[in-house]
Chains A and B, each alone.
Chain A
């Protein structure tokens, strides 16, 4: 069972959330970037076996977007923050 600790709602089952994918790569600003940069942003994934920073939206709770750190080899969650407060690293 994957349990996500929402900063607003507490520990909730992952089925209350919608997954939003890799949160570690910044989206190029509109009107900037080469085709290759956009290609890599849209289509290419680090896909790590280990710690992955990722978006989850608590659609059946507070509806906030979170940034969660999860180990993809074990599904252990180490951290969950509100996306707007999360710093990109």
Chain B
């Protein structure tokens, strides 16, 4: 690494007062690359990094239509965990969790991984049984999980509502101690800097507006900064997969939906875990600055506006007060939104498309941030070898055609049809 970050470097810069060098070059586009990655979010940048670091493919460009960190990688609620239950997901997300655990060292950038533990609540015996099953499957896969009775949850998270009036009484929970949060911007910046260090060109303000093709082969991309030739091309644009795929004449099993996040005014340290409510899709954690961070469900109709509806603010606030009445007087400071792909089974697509040389990493919704390291790792392998990495074979684009929808959480785009 040209300019390693270290305690010594910090002291040197403090003493000399010299400005820090740019974390990555402002690379002008070259005429062609071995691999062009469309989308400079966490996934695109991680893919570029692992292409260079794991596979020696360094003539790589990441094309970002805006600035690095402007997409969902900088908008999410930063939760990372690997408590998934279905064959395929369990291994994939655990691979991601292991990469998270070494990421700050790997990238020489502090991604501020905080393994504070995540607890999913059960509000009744049947839900408790489901969590027990999930925990058992995790443990059979070598992933630690602890099933907690009500009194154990109460000892761990004493600030939740255990009163007789509780609308959703807490019956138990499933705890993954290695889960937690990571600093989302640092993940984007860290991968960008490390990829750049390997020679990857990170090209911001460069929107892809079309494809160059030779019959069924994609040979390059047209952008707002000119045409760029590409040996292989990867679409990695989060909530805009349909838009970019349509430029290549493809229609996807994807709708674009809006997900909001919320933060309250800062309070003293109180919530030292990530807590998932069991009665509705709602979770909360406390940021290092002291604000409580809330997440909920998508707004419920497809949109690209990045402006959340008030109805969801109310819904999320109700959930927060239901599980933790003591915060009812806190004020929400901000809420914001990101556009994410929603697929019919709530699972992403990673792998080939019907067009030669065109690869897709899309369909990511709620689970996409925690997936960032493994998604980059597996997509890099997939693009480098021209063959899907074993950990993502369950995520094929044509899975509905063969009756292999992969539904871990019933989170699909048609929640509105239930």
Contacts and interface: CB of A to CB of B under 8 A. Distances in A.
B33 to A, nearest CB: 27
**Contact residues of A: prevailing secondary structure:** mixed
A87 interface: no
Interface string B398-418: 001100000000000110110
A44 B242 CA distance: 10
Given A14-B309, A20-B416, A39-B400, A44 B303 contact: no
A19 B401 contact: no
Interface string A28-61: 0000000110011011111101001010000000
B129 to A, nearest CB: 31
Given A15-B311, A19-B416, A21-B416, A43 B344 contact: yes
Contacts of A44: 251-253
A43 B397 CA distance: 11
Interface string B327-343: 00000000000000000
B256 interface: yes
A80 to B, nearest CB: 14
A74 B242 contact: no
B309 A47 contact: no
A74 to B, nearest CB: 6
A78 interface: no
A45 B251 CA distance: 7
A24 interface: no
A19 B414 CA distance: 9
B303 A75 contact: yes
Contacts of B305: 72-75
A79 B124 CA distance: 45
A9 interface: no
Contacts of B253: 43-45
A20 B417 contact: yes
B243 interface: yes
Given A15-B311, A72-B305, A21 B414 contact: yes
Contacts of A46: 242, 251
Contact of B302 (A15, A39, A47): A47
B225 interface: no
B208 to A, nearest CB: 14
A32 B104 CA distance: 56
Contacts of A45: 242, 251-255, 302, 413
Contact of B304 (A2, A14, A21, A73): A73
B417 A21 contact: yes
Interface string B164-185: 0000000000000000000000
Contact of A1 (B254, B300, B309, B413): B309
Q: Which residue among A18, A36, A45 has the maximum number of chain B CB atoms within 10 Å of its CB?
A: A45
B20 interface: no
B159 interface: no
A52 B49 CA distance: 38
Contacts of B307: 75
Interface of B: 242-243, 251-256, 300-305, 307, 309-311, 344, 400-401, 413-414, 416-417
Given A36-B401, A47-B254, 19 more contacts: A1-B310, A15-B311, A18-B416, A21-B417, A35-B401, A39-B401, A43-B400, A44-B252, A45-B252, A45-B302, A46-B251, A47-B256, A49-B243, A49-B256, A54-B301, A72-B256, A72-B304, A72-B305, A75-B303
Shortest 6 CB-CB contacts between residues of A and residues of B: A47-B242, A19-B416, A43-B253, A19-B301, A43-B400, A15-B311
25 contacts: A2-B309, A14-B301, A14-B309, A14-B311, A19-B416, A20-B416, A20-B417, A21-B414, A36-B401, A39-B401, A42-B400, A43-B344, A43-B400, A44-B253, A45-B255, A45-B302, A46-B251, A47-B242, A47-B254, A47-B255, A47-B302, A49-B256, A54-B301, A72-B304, A75-B307
